[in-house]
Amino acid sequence: MVSSPHEAMHRIFQEYPGLFSRVSEVLGVDLPHPTSVEALPTDLTEARPVERRVDTLLRFETAADGGFLVAVEAQGRKDPAKPGSWAYYCAYLHEKYGLPPLLLVVCQDRATAEWASRPVRIGPRGWPTLTLRPLVAGPHNMPVISDAVEARKDLALATLSAITHACDPEVGVILKALSTALRDMPEDLVNPVVEFTAQGLGNRPAAHIWRNLVAVDLSFYTSPLSDGIRAESRAEDILFVLEKRGVTIPDDVRERVNDCEDPEIMRSWLARALTAATAEEIFGDA
């Protein structure tokens, strides 16, 4: 149901291209105000069979100078091979489009963000031919948006805040502000926020917090994703009750609970889990 955090960290800029302008302001980078933005193909493969793809590529038009390009890369860990690829991306994009490229790297942990922020000099030590300076967004510089009013003002930035702070102790407060901000909002606004947040949290403990918030704060909202989140949360509750009561849970019972997507059935299983002598009794098959 939920894809990797890597996808959320760059695809959010495809869904909300204007988010980059807010991020650049937060990071203190003075760029021309864009008048329009366009998502470009991410394939940077040359005629020779060497495939290279940037995660997300955006073209920003401005009132002067023809605009600029932003290549967004999601980076989950340190990778010594990446700076060379990033330098290639920027040089290739400059040659192909004739526009100045900017590289934005989005991270979820401080160590990776600090590593990605370091300038990379390519060429002889005494005279580097090329210096790569990525712009990095991560838990060290993205705002902690813990107020629902602030989150509602800029849902895209609030979502990125939740994603980049996925490992922070304060992430629960950020997620609560975000779920509260989404109450009573149109489904077309709620859906991408719920999806990107779920993707960005991945399998971290914060994902359980988000599932519960979606089930409670966004009970009005229905979609395959939200239904899946609620079903997963309810399955965890059923198994948790049985485990706490010391009831042995066979693998086939665990699998049947996790596979069920009918909320009414799962509600009845949860009620039986409170008193069942065996795990199989929750199904009421007899």
Per-residue confidence (pLDDT) for residue 45, from 0 to 100: 66
Predicted pLDDT of residue 147: 96
Cα–Cα distance between 123 and 152 in angstroms, integer?
Answer: 47
pLDDT for position 245: 87
Confidence of residue 263 (pLDDT cuts 50, 70, 90): confident
With cut-offs at 50, 70 and 90, classify the pLDDT of residue 118. Answer: very high
Residue of higher predicted confidence among 138 and 268:
138
Q: What is the model's pTM? A: 0.75
Closest among 214, 203, 204, 143 to 178, alpha carbons compared: 214
- For 72, how many CA atoms within 13 A lie in the half-sphere containing its CB? 28
Cβ atoms of 56 and 39 within 8 Å: the answer is: yes
pLDDT of the residue at 231: 66
CB 235 within 8 A of CB 254: no
Question: 91 pLDDT band (50/70/90 cuts)?
Answer: very high
Cβ neighbour number for residue 11 with a 10 Å cutoff = 20
Residue 226 is predicted with a pLDDT of: 58
Q: What is the pLDDT of residues 133-144, one digit of tens each?
A: 999 999 999 999
How does pLDDT run across 198-227, given as a tens digit for each residue?
899 988 888 888 887 887 766 555 555 556
* Average pLDDT in the chain: 87
